[in-house]
Amino acid sequence: MVDNLLLGPDARINHTIGLLRSVPADGKLADGMALAPGAFLAIDPEGEVSGRCATGGESLLRLDYTTGKAPRWLALHLAIGGVDLGRAAVFGVACKSRAPEAATFRLCLRSATASGFVDAFLPKHVVAFAQPSTHVDLLKLEGHDNVPARAEWRELILFFHPHSAAYDLLDLRVFIV
pTM: 0.93
- Stretch among 9-23, 125-139, 142-156 having the lowest mean pLDDT: 9-23
Residue 154: per-residue pLDDT: 97
Q: What is the average pLDDT across 70-86?
A: 96
Residue 7: per-residue pLDDT: 62
Domain total in the chain? 2
Shared domain check, 134 and 66: no
> 142 or 107: which carries more pLDDT confidence?
107
- The 10s digit of each residue's pLDDT in 116-137 is 999 999 999 999 999 999 999 9
- The domain boundary, picked from 64, 79, 94, lies at 79
Query: Strand pairing of 25-28 and 49-56?
Result: antiparallel
pLDDT band of 11, cuts 50, 70, 90:
confident
Q: What beta strand segments (E) does the chain contain? A: 25-28, 34-36, 39-43, 49-56, 59-67, 74-79, 90-98, 103-113, 116-121, 126-128, 133-140, 154-160, 165-176
Q: Which domain holds residue 134?
A: 80-158
